[in-house]
Structure 1
């Protein structure tokens, strides 16, 4: 009964996967459908150089492929993962509104133009200070830019923390700012993504951690979306088998798929 609603193909600078290979992988795993969400990170630092999205050809190419490869039992949707920064919010809005995308993920990949993916981020201050600033950046971002449907991999930065104790403590030291983020998501009537890439990064839980998912529920959050953040065919829907029990324990019994920017509920079992 699963959809994978966060994946990348060779339209993203950090993936070499062809769209058809991602589609065939999803079909072979018995998914109901997928959403391509390639990276749009406007003003991403050139020295890192990952995220130059060919906006002119991205939607037309994948829309055509979706019409060719979708069936009665398998649906292909098209979206974007928008890397938010307040100073490019207007440009992000223009890009999102340029085509009838099904689904927009709002993600924070940069903190003051430094990406936690790279070692250089962690050399700038203590881990706790950097991670607190990371969460502060998310709140600033989703206040400046609200044209998204779900907030992507909320504790993304922790995937790359050097200290293992820090890596596995994504919530309590930052509970106040996380509450502010979750309250903003709920106020905007947005979803919270549960992203299984964290399992592949050695975290043992998804992004965000179960305690954050539970807190979202406690504060009144209603919608979750699911994504494996796959950049290769092998990782499509990776570790989704762990989600029903985990999310039931967090108080969720369904997840949402956005079609034409409108949510549809699906059971987790």
Structure 2
């Protein structure tokens, strides 16, 4: 069964989707889902993008099955390593995504992050932050949306091109490969041919550097986005010789 491994429901500050809406949509599509609520410790806006993990398990444990897995999406930053590690080690998550959302205590979504700065400067800092965190966040299972910054960057062409940032991207991919971590094929943007053209060389390079597994996640915050563009994600994985997996009890399982 196909598993959408990146879903946000009411426990995420930016989602209004209920667990029942998510399950209903997944059932209609014939897919399984992994709920991965946002946990961005020390987020610059108080009480945003954090949730009560005890409540999360108390409310959602009854739904846990071969159709629904319980995970978390951690916002990786250097000043939260110990606390994030404690969260993972003290809870029975099926799956842990590590993502870069905040740099220098500014959300990448925020226009201020790009003010009076060149694309080269901003993107090098983005990858430097990713490299630094991946060296210490050995307790994640997959790197979330490597192209996250391209969603929000205030540049005429926000795409990430491997040939422009190959040195930094290689460092990211080598760490993942050496630690046998997955890379996420985030499906939010891949219907755009320009995005697809930019991302495929990165996924191919991951395989060349020893990476073997990938997760596919819609990053859905509303029911209609669950499973979106998964046919494209499956084609990307096949084209790049990567095996799609989902995680149960932190163990990868191949999607057949």
Fold shared per TM-score above 0.5: yes
1:191 aligns with 2:190: no
Tell me how far apart the structure 2 counterparts of residues 190 and 169 of structure 1 sit (CA, whole Å). Answer: 21
Q: Is the 8 A contact 1:155 1:207 kept in 2?
A: no
Offset from partner CA, 1:187-219 (integer Å, 9 cap, x none): 11111111011247x675369811110000011
Contact 1:196–1:206 (8 Å) recurs in 2:
no
Q: CA separation in 2, counterparts of 1:206 and 1:230?
A: 19
Match of 1:112 in 2: 104
Change (3 A) 1:35 1:9: same
Deviation at 1:124, TM superposition (A): 5.0
Counting only pairs closer than 5 Å after superposition, residues 152-231 of structure 1 correspond to structure 2 as: 152-165=144-157, 167-199=158-190, 204-205=194-195, 209-231=199-221
For residues 127 and 16 of structure 1, the distance between their equivalents in structure 2, rounded to whole angstroms, comes to 33
RMSD (CA atoms): 1.9
- How many residue pairs end up in the alignment? 256
Which residue pairs with 2:231 in the alignment? 241
What is the CA–CA distance in structure 2 between the aligned matches of 1:115 and 1:207, rounded to whole Å? 27
User: After superposition, what is the alpha-carbon deviation per residue over 1:12-52, rounded to whole angstroms, capped at 9, x for unaligned?
Assistant: 00101111101111111111x111000011001117x6302
Q: Which runs of 5+ in 1 are unaligned?
A: none
> How far apart, CA to CA, are the structure 1 residues paired with 2:39 and 2:179?
22
For the residue of structure 2 that corresponds to 1:25, the secondary structure is: helix
Give, in angstroms, the shift of residue 96 of structure 1.
1.1
CA pair 16-124 structure 1, distance change in 2 beyond 3 A: farther
Aligned residue number for residue 115 of structure 2:
123
Mapped to 1, the partners of 2:214 and 2:248 lie a distance apart of 14
1:120-158, CA deviations, whole angstroms, 9 ceiling, x for partnerless residues?
111152122011100000011111221100010012101
Q: Which runs of 5+ in 2 are unaligned?
A: none
The residue aligned with 1:89 is 81
Contact 2:214 2:237 survives alignment (8 Å): no
1:100 corresponds in structure 2 to 92
Distance in 2 separating the partners of 1:248 and 1:220 = 16
Could you tell me how far apart the structure 2 residues matched to 1:133 and 1:261 are?
Answer: 30
* Alignment TM-score, normalising by the size of structure 1: 0.89
State the shift of 1:232 in Å: 0.5
Conserved 8 A contact 2:160-2:198: no
Q: TM-score, normalised by structure 2?
A: 0.94
SS in 2 for 1:197: coil
Matched residue, 1:44? 43
Tell whether 2:26 aligns with 1:57. no
